[in-house]
Amino acid sequence: MIYLYAFLFAGLVCLIGQIILDNTKLTPGHITTIFVVLGTLLDVFDIYDKFVLFAGGGALVPITSFGHLLIHGAMDTASQEGFMGLVMGMFDLTASGITSAIIFSFFLALIFKPKD
Amino acid sequence: MDKKDYQKLVDKNTPKEKRLKNGIVAFFIGGFMGIIGQGLIDLYMNWFDISSKQASVFMIVTLIFVGCFLTCLGFFDKWVNFARCGLIVPITGFAHAMMSAALEYKKEGMVTGIGANMFKLAGSVIIFGVVSAYTFGLIRLLILGGSV
């Protein structure tokens, strides 16, 4: 059943993005940025955690989860360390994604040539 | 039929159909990406006997690698043109943005090319993510006081 919810949730997020893209003059860069901000906003009241429990991977795949993980790591550390924890824990949970994206794109860029 | 009426007719008919088609394609491909994500989490949990949190990290790394690799091979640009938000909104879009920027500026050298331009497209995601996470986190700390 979680697969159905994953499908519906991820599909719905992409559909909203596509509707925004088609009906306004915003670029794909704007769309991803809007979704990241939306993800952090939804995590303020732990709404996104419920989505993750409900839709599993479907809620983790869209870029909204990136914002959710940013604020989640920051808040986790902040609950132990106080205000400085916000700065210390910001990249705790997203470090894997950012690091792997940098490593893969750097080494693959060295190997491959751009295709036109 | 004069030009104005014709333009009205064109506006009424062509873009709507395309929008509907774009929306359906984005919905199904985006949903399919969600199924792949959940499938990979279950697969890794069974294979390596790890918790779902670790498996989700593995899943994100896998999807980023696939996105980067397919961009290098040249398939991904065509797929993005077809699926639009169905592939841009999932984490593969983030990988695609970084990889294509790195490839595009490769000819300008390692430091001034790849190093300086890798975050050209994907940088806004990180910047706005951090800024909004800090702001909302601060507000939540001040109002609600720590974790809820």
Q: What is the pLDDT of residues A32-53, one digit of tens each?
A: 999 999 999 998 888 999 999 9
Structural domain count of chain A:
1
Residue A59 within a domain = yes
Model ipTM value: 0.91
Q: Are residues B58 and B73 in the same domain?
A: yes
Domain enclosing residue B145, as ranges: 123-148
**Dihedral sign (CA A20, A56, B92, B39):** negative
Q: Are residues B100 and B127 in the same domain?
A: no
- A71 close to B128: Cβ distance less than 8 angstroms: no
State phi, psi for A35 to the nearest 5 degrees: -70, -35
* Nearest Cα residue to B60 out of A108, A42, A95, A12: A95
Q: Are residues B20 and B90 in the same domain?
A: yes
A7 interaction partners in chain B (CB closer than 8 Å): 31-32, 34-35
> Greater confidence, B12 or A52?
A52
Structural domain count of chain B:
2
Query: What is the distance between the alpha carbons of residues A103 and B96, in angstroms, rounded to a whole number?
Result: 13
Q: Give the end-to-end CA distance of chain A in Å, rounded to a whole number.
A: 42
Q: Which residue of A has its CA nearest to B121?
A: A29
Q: Do the Cβ atoms of A57 and B34 come within 8 Å? A: yes
Query: What is the distance between the alpha carbons of residues A58 and A76, in angstroms, rounded to a whole number?
Result: 23
42-61 of A, contacting B, C-beta below 8 A: 43-46, 55-61
pLDDT averaged over every residue in chain B: 88
pLDDT at position B1 over 70: no
Query: Residue B144: pLDDT band by 50, 70, 90 thresholds?
Result: confident
**Over residues A16-23, mean pLDDT:** 90
pLDDT above 90 as % of chain B: 57
* Residue A92 forms contact with B (CB below 8 Å): no
Q: Are residues B18 and B84 in the same domain?
A: yes
pLDDT at B148: 47
| Rounded alpha-carbon distances, angstroms, from residue B111 to A114, B62, B106, B116, B117 | 17, 27, 9, 6, 9
Q: Are residues B99 and B130 in the same domain?
A: no
Residue A10 within a domain = yes
A87 interaction partners in chain B (CB closer than 8 Å): 134
Residue A116 within a domain = no
pLDDT at B83: 86
**Over residues A15-23, mean pLDDT:** 90
State phi, psi for B12 to the nearest 5 degrees: -70, -35
Q: Are residues B35 and B102 in the same domain?
A: yes
Task: Judge if pTM exceeds 0.95.
Answer: no
Q: Do the Cβ atoms of A3 and B38 come within 8 Å? A: yes
B91 interaction partners in chain A (CB closer than 8 Å): 61-63, 65-66, 97
pLDDT at B43: 94
Q: Are residues B106 and B141 in the same domain?
A: no
Q: Are residues B37 and B110 in the same domain?
A: yes
Q: Are residues B33 and B81 in the same domain?
A: yes
Domain enclosing residue A84, as ranges: 2-111
